[in-house]
Amino acid sequence: MDPRLQQAIDHNDLDELYSLIEGDENLLNHGCDGPFPNTSLHDAASKGKTKVAMEIATLKPLYVRKLNRGGYSPMHLALQNKHYHLVRALMTLDPKLIRVRGRGGITPLHFVAGKIGDNEQENMELLELLAEFLFACKSSIEDLTNQCETAVHITVRMGNTKAFKVLFGWLKRVKLTEILDWKDQDGDTVLHIAASEQQPEIIRLLIGHTTVYAKNFEGNTALEIFQMNPSGDPDVAERFHQKGCRERRFFPTILFLSQFFSTELTLFEDYIHGIYSQDKSTREAVLVASTLVAAATYQAVLAPPKGYWQEPSSDPQANSTIVTTNSSSIALGNPHQAGDHQAGDLILSGRHLVLYTTWNSFTFFVSIATIGACALTLKNGRFATLISWLIYCLCISYCITFTIQIAENSVEAKSVLMAIFFFFVLAFVSLFNYTDKRFRRERRGIDATWRRVKDPSIICF
């Protein structure tokens, strides 16, 4: 490196830097032609010269991802030398710099997750930096080292409990706790490592979010490792055994991924694959059409054909006056043909009312069922369950509204309505909830390395 450039970096002097560039526009390129160059940005980052480093990164953006001969990027060097302010500055240029894999496949996220500071202040700064990394680049949590370890594996192996709590809380908030079941090159999950390292506090947090009976490549489960290396905490031991017993009840047989693929597709899997084989626009069109049909049929209950009686049949004068909801006109009727009714009852009666109730209700519940079927494909299980309960409440509202409007003596129409209600709501919606819960429970009974966030368009668990 040019000694004058070296001096400008040491002084953190931008004026001096640009003065040199004016004299030699290729100044920053000197010595940077090899595959693993030690660029001026690497030098500035290792020394914590923020102003010069950011200026060079702006002028030569390709340098921020370059690895030097030691296998480190500028952000790696800044972290190693505890220049955390510079790390934050580089992150503003491109949050994906957090995912640059250096020596050993270690990313800046991995480094921060495993680093324990020399004092409390440094620990707090590292924890805050870890949280900022996760917030800035969510996908960085999926990166693996050359040992197939996630940031969570590294944190637990290093015994960094505070950093683990940051990662664990973030994973729960973004619904990515499935990463806790990923295995490293030895087949160990985070729970395996916590059990072997005798970390009862971490084990206590993990129980309920990981699979106790997942086996590593030596054939040992986390529970077996814990029994061989007891932590001495009776509360943790009890919770460990309770979780193991629950898993044994739900999963009497733990399947490996190859065994699972060898089984026949269930109706649920076949349905999911059928939904996801359609392009996004097709699924959206089905959802929009179903929503419009549901809205139209619900509105038809509020504004039925012929409208409502204005006065009860007990008033002879009122029998000659009928109000329709579809227009502002007043219709005259024969009081002897009207029958007994109350104000607000449907004018429609007899077989016409039964026919109207049957097809309108059937169409409404089919459209609602279609919306519920689309909700079943959502990745977020809790959101899918919430939608199913909202659909259930809407069906009850529909039934109550229709029942109130039908006259008391229209027993046949009410019977048809209730029959359709119980068939679609109690059968379909209950089956939806049962299938969804059973499916999401049984997917935990599959033992695999994972190492990738599951895509339901490829695999349905």
Q: Which two tokens stand for residue 271?
A: 């349905």
Low-confidence ranges of the chain (pLDDT < 70): 229-233, 241, 243-255, 265-280, 313-345, 376-382, 384, 407-409, 425-426, 428-461
**Cα–Cα distance measured from residue 178 to residue 181, given in angstroms and rounded to the nearest whole number:** 6
Bridge partners of 447, per DSSP, are 256
The pTM of the full predicted model, rounded to 2 decimals, is 0.69
Q: Could you read off the pLDDT of 413-423 as tens digits, one per residue?
A: 778 888 888 77
Helix (H) or strand (E) holding 458: none
- How large is the greatest C-alpha to C-alpha distance in the chain, in angstroms? 111
Neighbours of 369 (CB within 10 A): 20
Q: Tell me which residue of 388, 378, 384 sits closest to 424, measured CA to CA.
A: 388
Q: What is the CA 116 to chain-centroid distance, rounded?
A: 30
d(CA 443, CA 223): 20
Rg (CA), the chain: 33
407 and 342 Cβ atoms separated by less than 8 Å: yes
Q: Which CATH superfamily is domain 3-262 in?
A: Ankyrin repeat-containing domain (1.25.40.20)
CA distance 69 to 88: 24
Phi, psi of 395 (to 5 degrees): -65, -40
Res 399: pLDDT: 84
Phi, psi of 308 (to 5 degrees): -125, 155
pLDDT digit string (tens) for 69-92? 999 999 999 999 999 999 999 999
Element (H, E) at 331: strand 330-331
Contact 99, 143 (CB under 8 A): yes
The size of the chain, in residues, is 461
Q: What local confidence, expressed as pLDDT, does residue 353 receive?
A: 80
Q: Strand 255-256 vs strand 446-447: parallel, antiparallel, or unpaired?
A: parallel
Q: How far apart are CA 193 and CA 226, in angstroms?
A: 10
pLDDT on residue 456: 46
What is the sign, positive or negative, of the torsion defined by CA atoms of 138, 139, 140, 145? positive
Query: Nearest 5°: CA angle at 196, between 193 and 197?
Result: 80
Angle (nearest 5°) at CA 123 between 120 and 124 = 90
Q: How far apart are CA 327 and CA 349, in angstroms?
A: 20
Starting at the edge strand found earlier in the chain, the sheet holding 330-331 runs: 308-309, 322-323, 330-331
User: What is the 8-class DSSP label of residue 181?
Assistant: G
CA distances from 255 to 149, 210, 451, 452 (A): 23, 16, 17, 19
Q: With CA atoms as reference, report the closest residue to 388 among 426, 442, 438, 441.
A: 426
Which residue, 256, 272, 299, is CA-closest to 402?
299
Q: What is the pLDDT of residues 295-306, one digit of tens each?
A: 998 888 888 787
Residues in Cβ contact with 390 at an 8 Å cutoff, skipping those fewer than 6 apart: none
Alpha-carbon dihedral of residues 455, 458, 460, 461, nearest 10 degrees? Answer: -50
Helix (H, G, I), strand (E, B) or coil at 92: helix
